[in-house]
Amino acid sequence: MERRKFIKLTARAGAGVIASGGMGFWLASRSKKPTVRTEIGTRLDYTIPPSPDLPELASAKGDSPSELTEMVINALGGINRFISQGDIVVIKPNIGWDRIPQQAANTNPEVVKKTVELCYNAGAKKVIVTDASCNDPRRCFARSGIANAAEKAGAEVKLPEKRKLKNVNMDGVILKNWPIYSHYLEADKVINIPILKHHNLTRLTIGMKNWYGMIGGIRSQLHQDIHNSIADLAQFMKPTLVILDAFRVLLTNGPQGGSPRDVKNMNIIAAGTDQVAVDAYGAHLFGINPDEIPFITIAHQRGLGKMDISEINIKNMIT
């Protein structure tokens, strides 16, 4: 054999041996049991500084949900107190069910629309309206009337998309690692717009329970310790503002109702910056003493807000 050829062939084989051996040992050194990637403990705090001269909670009764919305926000110091020029605002109504507004399972679309308009008036750069529905989201967003109302006001309506979920460590008592929709992580301000409704395990679903629609994962397992998990979510996510829709209220057969027989017109919209206080006020409207609702008590005990109606500075209005 020629020398040149010998050297060439040996070099080729040698390179192959070294490459495969090196690759093998390198890959072997990388071997570890796969784990689910998680983020470090996160808390989302979108609150604004308190202002002692203004009421903590405003409530208005009347015939037009959109007028009432504007009234209560003005009573709290006006939209400019909450939204600044260039803000990205995420609005979280309850769009949980394939129900029409008259069935009172989802937030009143007029309230959402008005809030979007006010945010843009205050100079918001972008307003996103989103929720993770229980029924098929396309039907929920359509039939609740919210998608159309919000789009008309110029909002970006975001249906839940799996790829937008991000794992966070909520560092709660029950909730540790949970996926949440990334809109909430990228916002400057977050407004929660729950509807007041009956629920058979917690008796009521109001504002803090509405955060269930912020997360992915196996939500149905949260019911095993529902009160602590609601409090965990409230501890994790502190919104800029909570607007409570008690215009039409589902008194029974909640949280999705289905029959007009289940609905009572209370004609009330309320708003506040303390999410525990808003829930306590919602319970009060429902005729339930807030201390009978464990998730309100637990949230209060964790220092998340006031629950004694007599201690809350409420401004009541009637049109």
Q: How far is residue 116's CA from residue 23's CA, in Å, rounded to a whole number?
A: 56
Q: Binding string to other proteins for residues 83 to 122, with x set by CB under 8 A, is what? A: ---------------x-xx-------x-------------
For other proteins, the closer CB: 92 or 238: 92
The angle that helices 109-121 and 65-75 make with each other, rounded to 10 degrees, is 50
Does residue 147 bind other proteins (CB under 8 A)? yes
Half-sphere exposure of 220 (CA within 13 A, CB side): 1
Q: How far is residue 98's CA from residue 174's CA, in Å, rounded to a whole number?
A: 30
Smallest separation (angstroms) from other proteins to the CB of 271: 24
In order of 213, 232, 233, 239, the CA distances from 222 in angstroms are 12, 11, 11, 21
Closest by alpha carbon to 125, among 155, 153, 146, 151? Answer: 155
Which of 142, 251, 288, 317 forms a contact with other proteins (CB under 8 A)? 142
For other proteins, the closer CB: 76 or 104: 104
Query: Stretches 45-53, 111-119, 138-146, 311-319: which one binds other proteins (CB under 8 A)?
Result: 138-146
Does residue 38 bind other proteins (CB under 8 A)? no
Enumerate the H helices of the chain as residue ranges.
3-29, 65-75, 109-121, 137-143, 146-152, 226-236, 275-286, 294-301
For other proteins, the closer CB: 33 or 162: 162
Does residue 125 bind other proteins (CB under 8 A)? no
Closest by alpha carbon to 280, among 218, 204, 183, 223? Answer: 204
Which of 20, 24, 223, 311 forms a contact with other proteins (CB under 8 A)? 223
Smallest separation (angstroms) from other proteins to the CB of 258: 4
Helix and strand numbers, DSSP H then E, in the chain: 8, 14
The contact set with other proteins (CB under 8 A) reads 98, 100-101, 109, 134-139, 141-145, 147-148, 151, 157, 159, 162-163, 199-201, 218, 220-221, 223-226, 253, 255-259, 261-262
